[in-house]
Amino acid sequence: MRWLVNHYQVVSLGELVGRLEQRRPLRQIAAVTFDDAYLGVFLHALPVLRAFQIPATVFVVANAPSGGQPFWWDHPAVQAVATPQRRRAWLAEFRGDGAAILRSLAPTLESALPRCQQPADWETIAQAARGGLAIGVHSRTHRVLPTLSDVELRDELVTSREMISRETGTAPEFFCYPYGAWNTRVREAVRSVGYRGAATLDYGLNGAGADQLALRRVNVPAGISDAALDAWLAGFRLRLPASRDPDPLLEPREIAHRQAPVGWKRAELGG
């Protein structure tokens, strides 16, 4: 974070999108986002952000804080048998429905994961929001949006926002596409229900003419060096070791070779 604030003007996601709306340049402008609202973000990242006075947005899966379970891709039952091919098959068969995926793998869903690797509870999220953390929407159930009916899609976009607003006292303006999966229909639905902007997992930087409903991002792996981060944020793809693949679909070595399912806009880097 020290490196980031020394090299970039770090602004809120709202200010970044405001610059796009005003067609102002984004050179040396950065915004920080976190997907899924893991408890670890609030325990470990938030104190660092506050120390450096860095604004950030955390995208919340609305069902997760009260669900009492880890995300399906973190579950030991999945980790024990997962391969990139099986992950893709699970997404195709179950449309990203984590409960259905877990039911297909384990008769019991008990998890021994550390709490920091599980979703934060509502009180933790609400307290952070009261302290100035921006809260965004990452759907209601983290399903693959392009595979859903119009009714299901609206539920993921609207019901989720209502739940998050009720629990946190905020009015989320920004959406993040689960799995980075989106298409023209999904983008239009996001626009039509009033989101001001939406984050993809498409790798890259955003210029003055970027689509604010298809914002590119640069995933930053844990343990990255300052020099590598400099190149990474400059827009170069690097093969870097990561302790954990942030994308539930793929192993790290496959990131550079990803192919999108027909009709989907997919990420170049996961997050």
pLDDT tens, residue by residue, 27-69? 899 999 999 999 999 999 999 999 999 999 999 999 999 987 8
DSSP run (H or E) holding 201 = strand 197-203
pLDDT surpasses 50 at 245: no
Residue with tokens 């926002």: 161
Question: What are the tokens at 27?
Answer: 């050179």
pLDDT tens, residue by residue, 109-154? 566 677 888 999 999 999 999 999 999 999 999 999 999 999 999 9
The pLDDT assigned to 112 comes to 66
pLDDT tens, residue by residue, 203-217? 888 988 899 999 999
pLDDT tens, residue by residue, 95-104? 888 878 877 8
For the chain, the domains span 2-70+117-257
Distance CA 95, CA 157 (A): 16
pLDDT surpasses 80 at 12: yes
Q: Answer yes or no: are the C-beta atoms of 176 and 59 closer than 8 Å.
A: yes
With CA atoms as reference, report the closest residue to 158 among 183, 171, 139, 177: 139
Domain range 2-70+117-257, its CATH number among 3.40.50.1780, 3.40.50.800, 3.20.20.370, 3.40.605.10: 3.20.20.370
Rounded to two decimals, what is the model's pTM? 0.82
pLDDT surpasses 90 at 158: yes
Average pLDDT, rounded, for the chain: 83
Distance CA 12, CA 22 (A): 15
Mean pLDDT in residue range 239-261 = 35
Q: Is residue 6 helix, strand or coil?
A: helix
Mean pLDDT in residue range 9-20 = 97
pLDDT surpasses 80 at 166: yes
The CA-to-CA distance between both ends of the chain, in Å, stands at 18
